[in-house]
Amino acid sequence: MFNSEFLLKLSDVGNDSPEYLETLFTLSNGHVGVRASEPIKRGFVVGNPGTFMNGFYDSYPIVYGEWAYGYAKNHQTIVKLPDIRGIVLEIEGERSDQSQWSITKEAFYLDMHRGKLEESYLIRTKNNKQLKLTIQSFTSFKYREIYASKYSISESNFAGEVIIEKDLQLLNLKQTKLTDTSDPRVASSKSQLKMAYRNSQIASLTTEQSQQTVLFTQMNQQTGELQSVDPLISRASILVQPRSIKSAINVVAFSDFYVDTKVTEQTVEDFQKRLTGMTYEELLIQQEQMVNDFWTVSDIRIDGHEALQKGLRFNLFHLFQSAGREGKTNYSAKGLTGEGYEGHYFWDTEMYILPFFIYTQPEIAKELLSYRHYILPKAKERAKEMGQKGALFAWRTINGEEASAYYPAGTAQVHINADISYAFQLYEKVTGDSAFIKEVGAEVIYETARFWLSYGSWIKKNGKQQFCINGVTGPDEYTALVNNNYYTNKMAQNNLRYAVELAERYHNLSVQNEYADWRKAAEAIYLPYDEETKRVKQDDSFFEKEVWPFSQTPKENYPLLLHYHPMVIYKYQVCKQADALLAELLFPQDYSKEQIIRDYEYYESVTTHDSSLSRSVFSILASRTDQPEKGYSYFMDTALMDLTDLQGNVKDGIHAANMGGSWLSMIYGFAGLSYLEDKIVVRNHLPEEIKELEFKLKIAGNLIAFHISLKRISAEIKEAGKPITITADKSVITIKLTEG
Amino acid sequence: MFNSEFLLKLSDVGNDSPEYLETLFTLSNGHVGVRASEPIKRGFVVGNPGTFMNGFYDSYPIVYGEWAYGYAKNHQTIVKLPDIRGIVLEIEGERSDQSQWSITKEAFYLDMHRGKLEESYLIRTKNNKQLKLTIQSFTSFKYREIYASKYSISESNFAGEVIIEKDLQLLNLKQTKLTDTSDPRVASSKSQLKMAYRNSQIASLTTEQSQQTVLFTQMNQQTGELQSVDPLISRASILVQPRSIKSAINVVAFSDFYVDTKVTEQTVEDFQKRLTGMTYEELLIQQEQMVNDFWTVSDIRIDGHEALQKGLRFNLFHLFQSAGREGKTNYSAKGLTGEGYEGHYFWDTEMYILPFFIYTQPEIAKELLSYRHYILPKAKERAKEMGQKGALFAWRTINGEEASAYYPAGTAQVHINADISYAFQLYEKVTGDSAFIKEVGAEVIYETARFWLSYGSWIKKNGKQQFCINGVTGPDEYTALVNNNYYTNKMAQNNLRYAVELAERYHNLSVQNEYADWRKAAEAIYLPYDEETKRVKQDDSFFEKEVWPFSQTPKENYPLLLHYHPMVIYKYQVCKQADALLAELLFPQDYSKEQIIRDYEYYESVTTHDSSLSRSVFSILASRTDQPEKGYSYFMDTALMDLTDLQGNVKDGIHAANMGGSWLSMIYGFAGLSYLEDKIVVRNHLPEEIKELEFKLKIAGNLIAFHISLKRISAEIKEAGKPITITADKSVITIKLTEG
């Protein structure tokens, strides 16, 4: 019973198109992601099969119709590697890719509790040989190089030989491309990979332009440990008998990636060594243990809605699967499930995905944050190129360089600097891990603060000198290149304040002449507010525009970006997402409930939710302002977004940030979690549709279990960490770090 | 003496680089433009030779790093045709392109008074054969198809045969490309032309993508009339004797262009017929007559500055040369002298070039305006694509479709609609040609007015509903995508008012339900003004920005657009050109002298003049506000811009709009010409450096000669047209159309 809630079956999902299923059932461990393609290869290609590696990309020049100084120079595009799931079956001399067989899917499910995919197929060949093929596969969380499959054959109606062939060379050459280049949200390039043997057991794939190389090998096991075979082609021969069950194991392993010139013989040897002596059974036990550990902390249990329960777990599982875990990669907008958005990392990580990790898997959060420090040199170069001091993080990137070819909705989103600062800060406050901030975070915070001082301007507003940030685009991409985007300014203020806090705490000599100016700018930052309507203004000119003619806009014209020229969209009061509300969500102590409700009503009326990041913000603020129907309704609109293929583009990959948003809607919304100046608060905002909500948070090393029902709220420390004080009343629990 | 002021010699010009000279000495008649390449072909290519035809372009898709709805789809690029000047000389079996000869330029000048280029070369072959080759050439203003050359040989030191060969096929294949694609101001494409025989005497060239075809033929004459020969290769054999002078005539003729599928046998025959029976001498006489007629009306004589006098005539002559004359072509930003800006037509025509034609060559003005009516269907399609009513003219185009690949400084410059309306209106007021407006102009004016009503918005400003135009870019491209660009709004108001005037005058049924709204919008249009400083605001947010840090900007960082990212430039108070001042120039009756001076001082302090269109506006307003030193100084900064190669890019073509600007600086500035509600006024604003200024204007069919000296101003009707009343006092002449 408990278990079945963790099994994602075909009957749980929105449709049965191959590309869609490939995405949904992708196995990933943050290093490698394997789309769940049809495993048995036929004479034709089904779907859009392939494998992705986090951070493995190719690069080529961006062509501009009209070039200007400072434009991003190169595309970076995640590379589709061979479909390592694909096998050719040979049954008594007949090959699956050369004749017409009847293949029936008997079972197909993702066991999210154990972190593996289970499949079985009933096969009848042209010569009426029948058998059942069962496949168990997983990407190992313990050894991120490894994708392991176990092929079992049973129920054969004959005695004879079955050969399972995995030909990675062939599969590579067959890689196809199914993208629509007229939609800016999908990728638009492809790389020809160069394959080469490094020794008899290790081969490599090298990208055309970026010269990134990954080593790979293929190992088989029939008895005992895994044995390296030819990395390009492996064959396992199985002698079957009716009523017997015989199995073969295949493992494909991908190394980390290198610049090709740095792959020495030693590198190859080390890779080989690391893989020696493994067995499938050990890998499987480790896998189950690690996934179990994940659920122990990160699971959310709700009562009263079985499909939703499974959908949430699906979201949590995918969130867990695709995160980079070694400090040099991050979280692609589509995870490692597809090539949408070219595999780029955005602010999505910091603002929609990291809270989940910070509060439940802080070790992964730390690795994701470390990535920003890793690319800090690139961000400093970019700031310089833009004529600014400090660092400016790329709006979209893999290698740290700006890859946005449309700067008004790319580079101009300088808020990403402050988003990153906010995430470091949240990490510190929740985990208490100040050592990491001192060693890694502070430099990022200082450099981003420096950027604000450089990019911003002191301008007289309402009779006094205020610190303004002109010429930016906020998260709402339906408004671009404005002055004083509220969200940006509010976040920059926070960035500056945090920088001052760290500078004072650590007495860093490098910033001692600067931080007084940071403080001055932070305290005098201009936050646009309309005194007449008492509303927060999205930016200086937002209320000077006409409201979008919603009543004259047919339904099929949404999302607007695919039906109207940007300059037309920009001249209206219309939001893809309401970034002013996001600011109110992030700084709850700064806004009265009345203020939030006033802003909520207005921004709701002009927001199209054309961004998948929009609804969770509306859900959370509705919950927090005691509008439970809206809180629930906005939540439900997107909680099952990918399972129901709401936007029809899951084929290009999951909406990772939206999955993070579903966690936020529940925990920041229904459970009212908020981080205030010196405490973390949980409140009961449960909508009546959800009877009970159980979840755990890790706060300062303490694992705390929360239980919320319509009537009560409780917390229990499951594992102790640093000293904390928990106080509770009927609907509020307050957690404070206690001076130890 | 008189004549020498019309001869442009090598000693008059800035440098001797071949590409620069090719541009400066280009011969053109508005249909064909022939760069003044080295005529005698050697074994290597010198410079960037070639021929351009107005409106003859190729087209290919614009590639965007990131696409969005409504983006311009195709580049249009003027096509470089073979260098029809090029000849190979064969002297006693020795060919100029196959051995090293000594060739000395003995004479080289543009006879601007007769419209022809005169050259002579002293040649010594490897075998010490010597002779002098004299070339006279012109592009015929009478027959726009024709480029005629007369080759005369004299002073030979031998008796024998000289062959002059013109091989257009060979020259076509050799066409080269000398553009720097990192500079957005130059072209970036090339087209492979397809050459084909249409009959034994007519060949054709067809572009690769746009499938435009031009017919061409080559004719020779040694005695009597011109004889068609092989269009690809012609040879003239000349038997020379020492002390004899022998000549050969070569004419290359280019037809209008057609869509290839529409070139029938009849088309070919018609073209051939049109050229039959011509002689070089007749063509030459007609040429001299027509150019003489031009100068009779359009010349400007100044006293006290010989080099300037010649430079001005150079500008006027080039203005005259490149204008389209048949209603289906316009005026390329570089005339027909080079491929800069891809041969596109911009607002430059209406605002900087047309005044010269309207006031002195109204027939040509009419043709240029007719072009806008010709492409009106494309402008209506574009408006529709942008979700708007009416017509939106392309910011840059040849065929009428938008070809701007960077919309913030392209499509967003919707002011072009009102610029076109302004030019039609000026044409009508100055010429009195209402019939043209009724038949051709009115439709353009109505459709552009419709666009404003559709694109603009009624918004509450300063307590009342005002008509606003948000999300536009004004002529100042250092500020983009703003609300209520002053210039745009002022011009749109004028567009709307003129539409109302025509609608009432002609009682057009098609607009009877609309023009009341046009009037309402025009009267309530919002014109941003800063009450505190009493300055016209360039747009809603201009004064909310920081002033560009001029003192920290090194000289080599200008023009800013080549050294700073657009979003950085946009966030400052800094102008490429001051468009608010342009509005004050165009509507002199609406601004007090004090207002203009106040705005002038301010905008001057933030303007870089990185646009070649900037300085003439500052010159004119300075003259009009009695700042003669500035008026003269800004004028002189650009009057000789191309002759001195001030910006170093004359190789890509002349700066046609700047040449128009030099006319404006003199006539609108020094002579204070302004068009007011119902009269035209000339005032004496002569700077002391210029002792006398003589020019003529055509007003309502009257040819009026003006004479301005430091002490007096006078006008004389040279030819009578419609009844006018001229009144004069010591410094002002007023001309009013009198009801006839």
For chain A, give the number of residues. 740
CA distance B147 to chain A (A): 35
* pLDDT value, residue B184: 47
Contacts of A68 in chain B (CB under 8 A): 184, 406, 561, 565-566
What does the block give as tokens for B700?
């309502």
Q: Tens digits of per-residue pLDDT, B585-607?
A: 999 999 999 999 999 999 999 99
* pLDDT value, residue B204: 93
Residue A690 neighbours by CB distance under 10 Å: 21
Cβ(B82)–Cβ(B35) below 8 Å = no
B160: confidence class by pLDDT, cuts 50, 70, 90: very high
Cβ(A687)–Cβ(A628) below 8 Å = yes
A740: confidence class by pLDDT, cuts 50, 70, 90: low
The least confident of A570-584, B41-55, B681-695 is: B41-55
Q: Tens digits of per-residue pLDDT, B18-74?
A: 999 999 999 999 999 999 999 999 988 889 999 999 999 999 999 998 899 999 999
CA B392/CA B447 separation, integer angstroms: 8
CA distance A312 to chain B (A): 33
* pLDDT value, residue A353: 98
B233-240/B160-167 β-pairing: antiparallel
Residue B95 neighbours by CB distance under 10 Å: 17
* pLDDT value, residue B740: 53
Q: What is the DSSP string of A487-542?
A: HHHHHHHHHHHHHHHHHHHHT-GGGTTTHHHHHHHHHTB---EETTTTEE-SSTTG
Residue with tokens 């030193």: B629
ipTM reported for the complex surpasses 0.90: yes
Percentage of residues of chain B with pLDDT beyond 90: 85
Contacts of A63 in chain B (CB under 8 A): 63-65
The answer to the question of whether A348 is labelled as a binding residue is yes
Point out which residues pair with A234 in neighbouring strands: A166
> Which residue would you say has higher pLDDT here, A260 or B279?
B279
Domain boundaries, chain A: 3-60+74-266, 405-548+561-604
What does the block give as tokens for B738?
């009198």
Single-letter code of the amino acid located at B716: E
Query: Percent helix, strand and coil across chain B, each rounded to 5?
Result: 35, 25, 40
Q: Write the residue in B66, B458, B561 that is nearest to A68 by C-beta.
A: B561
For chain B, give the number of residues. 740
Q: Tens digits of per-residue pLDDT, B404-419?
A: 999 999 999 999 999 9
CA A649/CA B355 separation, integer angstroms: 55
What does the block give as tokens for A479?
């408004």
B570 vs A64: CB contact, 8 Å cut-off?
no
- Sheet of A674-675, strands arranged across: A674-675, A680-683, A732-737, A724-728
* pLDDT value, residue A190: 60
* Annotation marks residue A381 as catalytic: no
Burial tier of A731 (Cβ tally within 10 Å: 0-12, 13-18, 19+): middle
B481 vs A481: CB contact, 8 Å cut-off?
yes
* pLDDT value, residue B711: 87
Contacts of A545 in chain B (CB under 8 A): 457, 459, 470-471, 483
Q: Which of A69, A343, A333 is nearest to A191 (CA)?
A: A343
CA A433/CA A722 separation, integer angstroms: 11
* pLDDT value, residue B191: 64
For residue B498, the SS3 value is helix
B566 vs A70: CB contact, 8 Å cut-off?
yes
CA distance A482 to chain B (A): 9
* pLDDT value, residue A170: 56
* pLDDT value, residue B221: 87
CA B91/CA B100 separation, integer angstroms: 13
Mean pLDDT of A181-200: 67
What does the block give as tokens for B111?
């006879």
Cβ(B312)–Cβ(B670) below 8 Å = no
Predicted TM-score (pTM) of this structure: 0.94
**Mutation choice for A interface testing from B59, B63, B64, B537 by most A CBs within 10 A:** B64
In this predicted structure, the answer to whether residue A498 has a pLDDT above a threshold of 60 is: yes
Instruction: Reply yes or no: is the peptide bond before residue B554 cis, omega within 30 of 0.
Output: no
CA A146/CA A216 separation, integer angstroms: 10
CA B141/CA A517 separation, integer angstroms: 68
CATH architecture for the domain at A3-60+74-266: Distorted Sandwich (2.70)
Contacts of B415 in chain A (CB under 8 A): none
Positive or negative torsion for Cα B313, B315, B318, B324: negative
* pLDDT value, residue A44: 85
Residue with tokens 């650009």: B638
Q: Which of B464, B595, B603 is nearest to B523 (CA)?
A: B464
Single-letter code of the amino acid located at B667: I
Cβ contacts of B618-622, under 8 Å, gap ≥ 24: B618/B578, B618/B581, B619/B665, B619/B669, B620/B585, B620/B664, B620/B665, B620/B668, B620/B669, B621/B581, B621/B584, B621/B585, B621/B596, B621/B669, B622/B669
B723: confidence class by pLDDT, cuts 50, 70, 90: very high
CA distance A415 to chain B (A): 14
Mean pLDDT of chain A: 93
What does the block give as tokens for A543?
């209320």
CA A121/CA A103 separation, integer angstroms: 6
B501 Ramachandran zone, left/alpha/beta (phi>0; psi -120 to 50): alpha
Q: Tens digits of per-residue pLDDT, A325-356?
A: 999 999 999 999 999 999 999 999 999 999 99
Q: What is the DSSP string of A218-234?
A: EEEESSSS-EE--SSEE
In this predicted structure, the answer to whether residue A175 has a pLDDT above a threshold of 50 is: no
> Which residue would you say has higher pLDDT here, A603 or B647?
A603
Contacts of B480 in chain A (CB under 8 A): 481
CA distance A469 to chain B (A): 9
Tell me how far apart the terminal alpha carbons of chain B are, to the nearest angstrom. Answer: 43
Q: Which of B507, B393, B397, B400 is nearest to B450 (CA)?
A: B393
B546-547/B572-573 β-pairing: parallel
A664: confidence class by pLDDT, cuts 50, 70, 90: very high
The least confident of A226-240, A381-395, A551-565, B382-396 is: A226-240
CA B227/CA B314 separation, integer angstroms: 34
Q: Tens digits of per-residue pLDDT, B196-247?
A: 999 999 999 999 899 999 999 999 987 778 888 899 899 999 999 998 999 9
B570 vs A471: CB contact, 8 Å cut-off?
yes
CA A626/CA A637 separation, integer angstroms: 18
B405 vs A66: CB contact, 8 Å cut-off?
yes
CA A708/CA A711 separation, integer angstroms: 8
Mean pLDDT of B152-178: 77
Mean pLDDT of chain B: 93
Mean pLDDT of A95-123: 95
Residues 6+ apart with CB under 8 A from A159: A239, A240, A241, A242
Query: Percent helix, strand and coil across chain A, each rounded to 5?
Result: 35, 25, 40
Give kind and range of the element (H or E) at residue A306: helix A306-322
B387: confidence class by pLDDT, cuts 50, 70, 90: very high
Residue with tokens 């029902």: A709
* pLDDT value, residue B225: 85
CA distances for B705 relative to B158, B300, B720, B735, angstroms: 55, 10, 12, 13
Q: Tens digits of per-residue pLDDT, B322-341?
A: 999 999 999 999 999 999 99
For residue B424, the SS3 value is helix
Q: Write the residue in B65, B412, B480 that is nearest to A63 by C-beta.
A: B65
Mean pLDDT of B529-550: 97
Cβ(B649)–Cβ(B591) below 8 Å = no
- Sheet of B51-53, strands arranged across: B27-28, B32-34, B51-53
Cβ(A202)–Cβ(A215) below 8 Å = yes
B566 vs A69: CB contact, 8 Å cut-off?
yes
CA B311/CA B304 separation, integer angstroms: 13
What does the block give as tokens for B489?
């709004």
Q: Write the residue in A63, A67, A483 that is nearest to B184 by C-beta.
A: A67
* pLDDT value, residue A176: 42
CATH architecture for the domain at B31-61+73-265: Distorted Sandwich (2.70)
In this predicted structure, the answer to whether residue B496 has a pLDDT above a threshold of 70 is: yes
Backbone angles phi, psi at B235, to 5 degrees: -135, 135
B406 vs A568: CB contact, 8 Å cut-off?
no
* pLDDT value, residue A739: 67
Cα A667 from chain centroid (whole Å): 18
Instruction: Reply yes or no: is the peptide bond before residue B559 cis, omega within 30 of 0.
Output: yes
CA B415/CA B473 separation, integer angstroms: 8
In this predicted structure, the answer to whether residue B277 has a pLDDT above a threshold of 90 is: no
In this predicted structure, the answer to whether residue A322 has a pLDDT above a threshold of 90 is: yes
User: How is domain A405-548+561-604 classified at the CATH fold level?
Assistant: Glycosyltransferase (1.50.10)
For residue B243, the SS3 value is coil
Residues 6+ apart with CB under 8 A from B424: B369, B372, B437, B441, B444, B445, B498
**Mutation choice for B interface testing from A75, A181, A544 by most B CBs within 10 A:** A544
* pLDDT value, residue B180: 40
Number of A to B CB contacts under 8 A, please give it.
Answer: 159
Cβ(A490)–Cβ(A583) below 8 Å = yes
Task: Give the annotated binding-site residues of B for substrate.
Answer: 347-348, 576-577
What does the block give as tokens for B296?
């009779």
**What is the Cβ-side half-sphere exposure of residue B161, based on CA atoms within 13 angstroms?**
10
In this predicted structure, the answer to whether residue B182 has a pLDDT above a threshold of 90 is: no
B55 Ramachandran zone, left/alpha/beta (phi>0; psi -120 to 50): left
Residue B163 neighbours by CB distance under 10 Å: 17
What does the block give as tokens for B467?
């008509």
